[in-house]
Amino acid sequence: MNSMPPLQAVIGLGNPGDEYAETRHNAGFWCVDALARHAGLGFRTDPRLHGETCRLAMGASSVWLFKPQTYMNHSGRAVGALASYYRIAPEAILVVHDDLDLPPGTVRLKQGGGHGGHNGLRDIIGQLGGDFLRLRIGIGHPGHRDQVVGYVLHRPSREERTQIDDAISRAQAVFPDILAGRLSSAMQTLNTPEPSADGR
């Protein structure tokens, strides 16, 4: 996996509405918002696509940033509309999402796979299959599966939010590689564990 065709769409997952804006499940929104903000861009609503879009140029590459406005469980409806309208293949899509299996402060890039219990991914896979890229932003796990729904729909602690924002910043730093299809380089940077404070 030394290179891939350049991406055409980066999709952040989350739930629309002020009541969900700061909840853990919206980490995907936070990431694409950060990318747009850094570039001085604003999102606009596109009713045809059931979402909000803007166009990001980075170096020689340009890509759609997209936030579905269908609620998480129906993300596939919006992502399918975007892919159909712009004729974007699944392999040219990166989905950014929260991940219970990673601790806050962790971010990982992977290609393909299952949904891992994530309802947004489940719905997108139902529309497109599973061949798209994923940027997984760790939010931690509450410890028991019965607590998951309440956990993802609540705000992280201040410390956790700082850790999540730090992870998003690290992802931003490698986006030129991701957008250009240099996935091995991006994965090596993001997927290599950082040394602990004592150097181990």
**Annotated binding residues, as ranges?**
20, 71, 73, 119
The string of DSSP codes covering 153-172 is: TSPPPHHHHHHHHHHHHHHH
Q: What are phi and psi of 65, to 5 degrees?
A: -100, 135
The catalytic position among 25, 50, 97, 118 is 25
DSSP 115: -
**Annotated binding residues for tRNA, as ranges?**
20, 71, 73, 119
Residues 188, 34: Cα–Cα separation, whole Å:
22
Q: How many CB atoms lie within 10 A of CB 116?
A: 13
Residues 123, 17: Cα–Cα separation, whole Å:
20
Is 141 one of the catalytic residues? no
Phi-psi region of 66 (alpha: psi -120 to 50; beta: other; left: phi over 0): beta
Residues 126, 140: Cα–Cα separation, whole Å:
26
Contact 15, 71 (CB under 8 A): yes
Kindly state the tokens that stand for 23. 């909840």
**Which residues belong to the active site?**
25
